[in-house]
């Protein structure tokens, strides 16, 4: 999604954080710092079986209800999940406020991380 300079300025004025920073954090950082969590409409963790997760992914997007999240594998690969569909994975869902104009992401990890939600 390409964002105009006007919407970038509006996002900075409203939240005090540049869209490029929010995009980087959403796609790369497992934890979102509390100081910028208000820039996100969605941010929670959930545990799920790898086989069930893979069944919910279509063309690189995780479909959850009517929402679609771009899947990013965080310190693991899709191949690891395919090799053992019985393992439990942790998914971090995050969607920035609409004014940021970035896609929703689902970071997937097989690490042992504390869960704050469920599917």
**What is the pTM (predicted TM-score) of this model?**
0.83
Looking at the domain assignment, is residue 96 inside a domain? yes
| Whole-number Å distance between alpha carbons of 29 and 44 | 13
What is the tens place of the pLDDT at every residue in 60-113?
Answer: 999 988 899 999 999 899 999 999 999 999 999 999 999 999 999 999 999 755
| Whole-number Å distance between alpha carbons of 87 and 55 | 14
CA angle centred on 40, ends 1 and 52, rounded to 5°: 80
φ and ψ of 54, to 5 deg: -60, -35
Structural domains counted in the chain: 1
Looking at the domain assignment, is residue 115 inside a domain? no
What is the tens place of the pLDDT at every residue in 20-49?
Answer: 999 999 999 989 999 999 999 999 999 999
Range of the domain at 9: 5-109
φ and ψ of 72, to 5 deg: -125, 125
The number of residues in the chain equals 119
């Amino acid at each position: 999604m390409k964002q105009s300079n006007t919407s970038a300025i509006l996002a900075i004025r409203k939240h005090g954080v540049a869209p490029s920073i929010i995009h980087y954090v959403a796609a790369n950082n497992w934890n979102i710092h509390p100081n910028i969590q208000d820039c996100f409409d969605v941010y929670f963790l959930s545990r799920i079986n790898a086989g069930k997760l893979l069944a919910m992914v279509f063309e690189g997007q995780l479909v959850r209800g009517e929402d679609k999240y771009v899947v990013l594998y965080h310190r693991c690969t899709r191949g690891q999940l395919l090799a053992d569909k019985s393992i439990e994975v942790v998914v971090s869902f995050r969607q920035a406020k609409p004014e940021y104009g970035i896609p929703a992401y689902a970071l997937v990890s097989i690490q042992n991380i504390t869960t704050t939600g469920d599917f």
